[in-house]
A and B are shown apart, each in its own frame.
Chain A
């Protein structure tokens, strides 16, 4: 069970790194900020998944503390571009979105700072630093889920009158699902942390949930970033679009 969970995480990390390269090369072509922000986020997520799970296969008990701190800090800082992406795409100029971005960033960086100054990074619910950082990286997942769902509902209506490409409308839904699965993964991570602190039976369930949500996250992102032709055709077939003057 544990081996397959680590393998799943490494595979997910590799996929995030591929998605990151794809987004960063898109940014080089377009010079636009959203793909840069998302590319950075997937890049740091990918490195976190790969480096964090590698010691298990190298027969090491855990990462050397210095490397672990470095990886955790890169991840904490790397979630900030994701928050910037959500805010700039869905809520530009919104005061509450800016407040949420700042609050989430403070949780992330505050938790990391507390862990660095205390006994180091842990994955235990007994450690307040872990819980603070957990809030910081769970908030953007829930936020993405909500914004994706709202945008999908409006895009579906636009698609009905030919004002939105159906596959773009579907892409909002895929990002909402990604946010949902990542929120579920965070919940599983918390379950694992409680398992670590009280040695109860919830750890196995949390591990299973973590693996499942990672596979689901990769699946929806694959459809969003690398939509196979058959999937795109299926989405198009489901939407009968009347002609519009959109291209005029």
Chain B
């Protein structure tokens, strides 16, 4: 049972590809690192952008067919079940630094 968004995304990705647990988690970590995101401090909208813009390329590079469709399916499933998952705190450093400069 997934305990955070990262676990849930990796779990769903594993279910829709031929990759094993280690490979899906590793691929997801690489995409999140490229996006400048902390795997255990994620929000659904952030994950959606990663699955739209970065994951298809990462999956194609690992020989996954129909990568864009897989990403859409995974994201739809995450959006449907993410309510029960703990999301990132509402006061992220970005929110704080945005307030500090009045923007």
**Which A residues are closer than 8 A to B by beta carbons?**
23, 26, 30, 32, 34-35, 38, 89-90, 151, 153-159, 161-165, 167-168, 171-172, 175, 224-227, 232, 242, 244-246, 248
Complex interface bits, B89-100 against A, C-beta within 8 A gives 1, otherwise 0: 001011011111
- Note all chain B residues with C-beta closer than 8 A to A164: 36, 94
Q: Distance in Å from the Cβ of A147 to the closest Cβ of chain B?
A: 9
- The answer to whether B91 and A32 touch across the interface, beta carbons within 8 angstroms, is yes
- Note all chain B residues with C-beta closer than 8 A to A89: 93, 96
Whether A161 touches B49, Cβ cut-off 8 Å, given contacts A154-B36, A168-B94, is: yes
Bin the interface of chain B by size: 20 to 34
Q: Distance in Å from the Cβ of B5 to the closest Cβ of chain A?
A: 14
- The answer to whether B97 and A163 touch across the interface, beta carbons within 8 angstroms, is no
- Note all chain B residues with C-beta closer than 8 A to A32: 91, 96, 99
8 Å CB contact of A225 from B48, B50, B94, B101: B101
**Which B residues are closer than 8 A to A by beta carbons?**
34-38, 45-46, 48-50, 52-54, 91, 93-94, 96-103
Who on chain A is nearest to B96 by CB? A34
8 Å CB contact of A157 from B36, B97, B99, B101: B36
- The answer to whether B103 and A161 touch across the interface, beta carbons within 8 angstroms, is no
What are 19 A-to-B residue pairs whose CB atoms are below 8 Å?
Answer: A26-B100, A30-B99, A32-B91, A154-B37, A155-B36, A157-B35, A157-B36, A161-B50, A162-B49, A163-B36, A163-B49, A165-B98, A165-B103, A172-B93, A225-B100, A232-B103, A245-B49, A246-B45, A246-B46
- The answer to whether B101 and A224 touch across the interface, beta carbons within 8 angstroms, is yes
- The answer to whether A171 and B97 touch across the interface, beta carbons within 8 angstroms, is yes
* Complex: A149 Cα to B96 Cα, angstroms: 16
Q: Distance in Å from the Cβ of A142 to the closest Cβ of chain B?
A: 19
- The answer to whether A244 and B49 touch across the interface, beta carbons within 8 angstroms, is yes
- The answer to whether A153 and B93 touch across the interface, beta carbons within 8 angstroms, is no
Whether A35 touches B100, Cβ cut-off 8 Å, given contacts A163-B46, A244-B49, is: yes
- The answer to whether B53 and A168 touch across the interface, beta carbons within 8 angstroms, is no
* Complex: A171 Cα to B100 Cα, angstroms: 9
Who on chain B is nearest to A174 by CB? B101
- Note all chain B residues with C-beta closer than 8 A to A35: 96, 99-100
Q: Distance in Å from the Cβ of A84 to the closest Cβ of chain B?
A: 13
- Note all chain A residues with C-beta closer than 8 A to B96: 32, 34-35, 89
* Complex: A101 Cα to B76 Cα, angstroms: 42
Q: Distance in Å from the Cβ of B41 to the closest Cβ of chain A?
A: 10
- Note all chain A residues with C-beta closer than 8 A to B97: 168, 171-172, 175
Q: Distance in Å from the Cβ of A47 to the closest Cβ of chain B?
A: 21
- The answer to whether A248 and B36 touch across the interface, beta carbons within 8 angstroms, is no
- Note all chain A residues with C-beta closer than 8 A to B100: 23, 26, 34-35, 38, 171, 224-225
* Complex: A163 Cα to B54 Cα, angstroms: 13
Given contacts A89-B93, A167-B101, 18 further A-B pairs with CB under 8 A are: A34-B100, A90-B93, A154-B38, A155-B36, A157-B35, A159-B36, A161-B49, A161-B54, A162-B49, A163-B35, A164-B36, A165-B94, A165-B98, A168-B97, A225-B100, A227-B101, A244-B49, A246-B46
